[in-house]
A = this chain, B = another copy of it.
Amino acid sequence: MRIRLDLRYDGTDFAGWAIQPDLRTVQGTVEEGLAKVLRGQRPRLVVAGRTDSKVHARGQVAHFDVDETAWAAVVGRAQRTPEDALLSRLTGVLPSDVVVHNVSVAPEGFDARFSATMRHYRYRIADAVALRDPLRRRDVLWSRRQLDVSAMNAAAQQLVGRHDFAAYCRPRPGATTIRTLTEFVWERDDDGLAVATVRADAFCHSMVRALVGAGIAVGEGKHDVQWPRELLRAKERSSSVTVAPGHGLTLEGVDYPEASQLAVRAQQTRARRATDDVDSI
Q: Please report A residues at the B interface, Cβ cutoff 8 Å.
A: 8-10, 56, 58, 87-88, 91, 96-102, 129-135, 137-139, 142, 250
Contacts and interface: CB of A to CB of B under 8 A. Distances in A.
A56 B135 contact: yes
Contacts of A102: 130
A8 B132 contact: yes
B134 A87 contact: no
Given A56-B135, A101-B130, 17 more contacts: A8-B132, A8-B134, A9-B134, A10-B135, A10-B137, A56-B134, A58-B133, A58-B135, A87-B129, A91-B129, A96-B142, A97-B134, A98-B134, A99-B132, A99-B134, A135-B139, A135-B250
Contact of A99 (B91, B101, B133): B133
Contacts of A99: 129, 132-134
Nearest to A128: B101
Q: What is the total number of copies of this protein in its complex?
A: 2
Listed residue (A91, A96, A129, A142) with the most chain B CB atoms within 10 angstroms of its CB: A129
A58 B133 CA distance: 7
A137 to B, nearest CB: 5
A139 to B, nearest CB: 5
A90 to B, nearest CB: 9
Contacts of A10: 134-135, 137
B101 A132 contact: yes
A14 to B, nearest CB: 10
A96 B56 contact: no
Nearest to A131: B101
A137 B96 contact: yes
B138 A135 contact: yes
A148 to B, nearest CB: 21
A198 B237 CA distance: 53
Contacts of A133: 8, 58, 99
Contacts of A8: 132-135
Listed residue (A10, A98, A100, A135) with the most chain B CB atoms within 10 angstroms of its CB: A135
Query: Which 5 pairs of residues, A with B, have the shortest CB-CB distance?
Result: A10-B134, A99-B132, A97-B134, A101-B130, A10-B135
Contacts of A91: 129
A160 to B, nearest CB: 28
Listed residue (A131, A138, A139) with the most chain B CB atoms within 10 angstroms of its CB: A138
Contact of A96 (B97, B134, B250): B134
A122 to B, nearest CB: 12
A247 to B, nearest CB: 11
30 contacts: A8-B132, A8-B133, A8-B134, A8-B135, A10-B134, A10-B135, A10-B137, A56-B134, A56-B135, A58-B133, A58-B135, A87-B129, A88-B129, A91-B129, A96-B134, A96-B137, A96-B142, A97-B137, A98-B134, A99-B129, A99-B132, A99-B133, A99-B134, A101-B129, A101-B130, A101-B131, A101-B132, A135-B138, A135-B139, A135-B250
